[in-house]
Copies of this chain bind each other. A is one copy, B any other.
Amino acid sequence: MGSRRDFIEKMSLTALSLPILYGSTPLFAAFEQPYDAPILRVAIMGLGSYATRVAKAMVDCKRAKLVGVISGTPSKITKWQAEYDIPEKNCYNYANFDSIKDNPDIDAVYIITPNGLHCEQAIRVAKASKHVICEKPMAINAEEGERMVKACEAANVKLLVGYRMHFEPKTVEVIRMRKAGEFGQPKFFQGQSGFVIGNPDQWRLNKELSGGGAMMDIGIYSVNGARYMLGEEPIWITAQETKTDPVMFKEGIDETITFQMGFPSGAVASCLSTYAMRHLDRFFMTGDDGWVEMQPSTGYGPIEGRTHKGELSQPHITHQTLQMDGMAQLIFDGIQPLVPVDGEEGLKDLKIIDAIYRAAKKGEKVML
């Protein structure tokens, strides 16, 4: 499979006449032609608002299908059963979902619960011999992430993380351009990820469930973006925390963090993560030979952006549709996106987030 992956990557970099490549296949042709390849049968765990968005997006998938649910709220299950034609036998709650092991009609479980629950839930899914798809952040720290990776390896199931941007057409095009050297040596990445959070009672502001504040929710986009926009792993991190509302943002819930990363090439990244500022969904990268700016850069879309060559014109397709089809291709066909979405990728972000929190607390540079 290694050599096939190499071949696919080489194709992606050379077949420039095609506007976007999606794995080995041009983006749309893959989904519009009749396809008799296997369908990834997915159960969603946690039926909140983002799960609702994923379920709606999956209706348009060619390779993935929502077939089951796991929830602690029976009324939600009933509603979803009706809406997505889900049989009773594919419905579980948090007490009994280990028995999904005996259900041959479910291939994977997509965990869309609060961050603090991901680790134990993922390990249980792995033990039930189902592929694990986990919303990002994969867990609330690298130690948990490592346990998840090991559990999935031991169970011989895939561990995939909900990095929808890795499937988003304009983002994929920028990554392709960067890998093809069209920006020259990348030098600087700016990631600004933030919004003003609403309801103070939501789980995202509860440390036990969220594992942190804005960084664990929106800041991770700048962390991950820095890596796929620059194509390197950071060697040092500095970070500064600012808190203006200690009532809303309690101990352990970061409101605003600026953080910086240095890379082996000498490239640097300068990022912002915040729950208290508006109009912040902005990426920029400059290299020796070109630049790209994206704004919005990681919202649900449409993403907009331009490079030194002009506007990014790849069409908007619902990110979660692309992600779930892409994950099906990955699981069944071994086709990797240009940037991985596996547990190792999730773990890299968690190690950086751990370091950001450490750097902010110590007020000193943290080496990785």
Contacts and interface: CB of A to CB of B under 8 A. Distances in A.
A365 B260 contact: no
B258 A270 contact: yes
A335 to B, nearest CB: 34
Contacts of A200: none
Contacts of A286: 277-280
Contact of A258 (B260, B277, B291): B260
Contacts of A278: 187, 286-288, 291
Identical chains in the assembly = 2
A192 interface: yes
Contacts of A268: 240, 242, 256, 258, 272
A363 interface: yes
A278 B285 CA distance: 10
Interface string A271-296: 11010111110101011101100000
Contacts of A265: 244
A262 interface: yes
Interface string A180-193: 00000001101010
A272 B277 CA distance: 20
Contacts of A242: 262, 266, 268
B192 A190 contact: yes
Interface of A: 187-188, 190, 192, 238, 240, 242-244, 256, 258, 260, 262, 265-266, 268, 270-272, 274, 276-280, 282, 284, 286-288, 290-291, 308, 363-365
Nearest to A256: B268
20 contacts: A187-B278, A188-B272, A188-B274, A190-B190, A190-B272, A192-B284, A240-B262, A240-B365, A242-B266, A243-B266, A244-B266, A258-B260, A266-B276, A270-B270, A270-B271, A270-B272, A278-B288, A279-B291, A279-B308, A363-B364
Given A188-B274, A190-B272, 10 more contacts: A188-B272, A190-B192, A240-B268, A240-B365, A258-B270, A260-B260, A277-B286, A278-B287, A282-B284, A363-B365
A308 B274 CA distance: 20
B188 A277 contact: yes
A243 to B, nearest CB: 8
